[in-house]
Amino acid sequence: MTLPQQPLVSIDTVPFLFRDGVLEIVLAERVFEPFLGQAALPGVLLTPNERLAEAAMRALDTKAGIGAESIRNITGAGVFDNPDRDPRGPTLTIVHAVILDPQANLDREGAHKVRAAAAKGLPFDHDSIIARTAGAVLDALWVDAALTRALVGERFTTASAARLARELAAAAGRPEPVTSNLGRDLAKNTALVKTAEAAAPSGRGRPAAGWSWKQA
């Protein structure tokens, strides 16, 4: 009796970097076949007795040079199990969304920053992983406080938060979200306080309102 081939388990990470109103993703050049030399999401095969979060951290460190000090938040973002997703054979991947510190040092050779919405034509099913993960993060904004805080930072403006939503929607392949009432929604959020100063406008019009998170 021939037993069916058991799928391998991999851990892929989607490292998001939001700064200056642009949402980027960090990719890393593959050093093994398949797709040798192509930019892809940092990922590794899960080893025996390794926890999922440990494997995610290993992928970030060994593939993209991203250390723990550069990570603000890391959370599971779903499983991809298409049996044809990897030319080496059946491989399911457990995906983690990673929010990076905007001041992180990401100068490792082989690591590339690209705008999330422009990350197309990647190996495996990484295009789909990015789109679905960006959609999951968009849906979690203002619901998952820790994730949102990691993305927008301790102090932010209404304009910046609206820009983040639009960038996530673009990466997810969704229509541009309506953000005209975002300021009023933020004013109702009990975890936020309006700051005394407002950000200088980039053009004509009223300055964007500033916000900060209440201390726990």
> Average pLDDT, stretch 35-57?
96
Superfamily designation of domain 8-140: Nucleoside Triphosphate Pyrophosphohydrolase (3.90.79.10)
In percent, the amount of the chain with pLDDT more than 90 equals 84
Show me where the domains of the chain are located: 8-140, 154-213
Residue-wise pLDDT tens digits, 145-157: 999 999 999 999 9
Contact 20/109 with Cβ under 8 angstroms?
Answer: no
- Phi then psi for residue 116, to 5 deg, are -55, -40
pLDDT at 109: 87
Residue-wise pLDDT tens digits, 73-112: 999 999 999 999 999 899 999 999 999 999 988 888 889 9
Residue-wise pLDDT tens digits, 23-41: 999 999 999 999 999 999 9
Lowest mean pLDDT of 2-6, 47-51, 127-131, 185-189, name the range: 2-6
pLDDT for residue 124 is more than 90: yes
Strands of 210-213's sheet in order across: 155-157, 210-213, 192-194
CA 139 to chain CA centroid, nearest Å: 13
Contact 172/138 with Cβ under 8 angstroms?
Answer: yes
pLDDT at 201: 52
pLDDT for residue 198 is more than 60: no
The rounded mean pLDDT for the chain is: 93
Contact 100/24 with Cβ under 8 angstroms?
Answer: no
Sign of CA dihedral 164, 136, 77, 24: negative
- Look up residue 110 and give its DSSP letter: T
